[in-house]
Amino acid sequence: MTFDEIAEQTEHPSVEVDENGFITGVRNGFQEMLGWQDSLIGRPLSAIIPAHMHDAHHMGFSRFVATGQPHLLESDVRLPTSKASSEVVELVHHIAAKRFENGEWRFISMVREI
C-alpha cells in the first residue's frame, strides 16, 4: 500500500508531519482523541510527545531525514503520547514515511489505543 493509500484509507486516527517536524494534517478524530481544542496543525510534533522523549525524538527524526535509515517505521510501536492536558497515555503508533519527487519527506502515524 502506498503512502497516499495509507493516509487516505486508514480508519485509525492519524497525524501527518512534514520533514521539519511540523504537523501538517490530522484525520479520523486524532485531535479529539488527545483532547486538543485548538488545531494541532502547524505545531511541532513534539507537542504530542512527552518532554522526556524530546531529545530522542529530535535526534532520531533528524537522523532519519538525513539518512533515510528508520528505527520505528512500518511496525506497531507502543509510544507514550502527550494529551492537551499534559497527561501522558501510551498508544500504539504505526508510522510510515515517503520521500516525494521534490525530495521532501512526509510522515504519517496511525494510532490506536492499547
Partner 1 sequence: MTDSPPDAGVVRRGKRPRSGIDQSDLIRSLRSTLAKMELALSQLEDPIIFVDTHGRIEWCNEPFCQLIGRPRISILGVRLADVFPLRRDGELLTEDEHPAAVALASGEPLVDVLEYAPETSSPRQIRISGRSVAHSAERKQGAFVLRDVTAQGRELRQARLATLGALTSGMIHQIRSPLGFVRSNIEYLQANWAGSSDMEEVFSESLFGLDRIESLFKTATAFDQPTLDQFVEFDLADAIRAAARMAKGHWDTVAEVQIPPNRGDAPVIGDPSAIAQAFAALFTNAAWAVGARRKREGSEFRGRIEVSIAQLDGWSEMVVEDNGIGIAPEHVDRIFDPFFTTQSDTDALGQGLFVAKSILVDQHGGMLRAEPRQGGARLVVRLPSYEPF
Which residues neighbour 79 within 8 Å (Cβ) at sequence distance 6 or greater?
A: 53, 72, 90, 91, 92, 93
Q: Is 35 in the site for partner 1 (CB under 8 A)?
A: no
48: exposed, middle or buried (C-beta count within 10 Å: 0-12, 13-18, 19+)?
A: buried
Q: Is 101 in the site for partner 1 (CB under 8 A)?
A: yes
Question: Is 56 in a helix, a strand, or coil?
Answer: helix
The smaller minimum CB distance to partner 1, of residues 80 and 112, is found at 80
Residue in 4, 74, 76, 113 binding partner 1, rule: CB under 8 A: 4
The least distance separating partner 1 from the CB of residue 62, rounded to whole angstroms, comes to 4
Query: In the structure grid, which three cell numbers stand for residue 97, read together?
Result: 514515511
Binding mask 39-78 for partner 1 (x = CB under 8 A): x-xxxx-----xxxxxxx-xxxxxx-xxx----x----x-
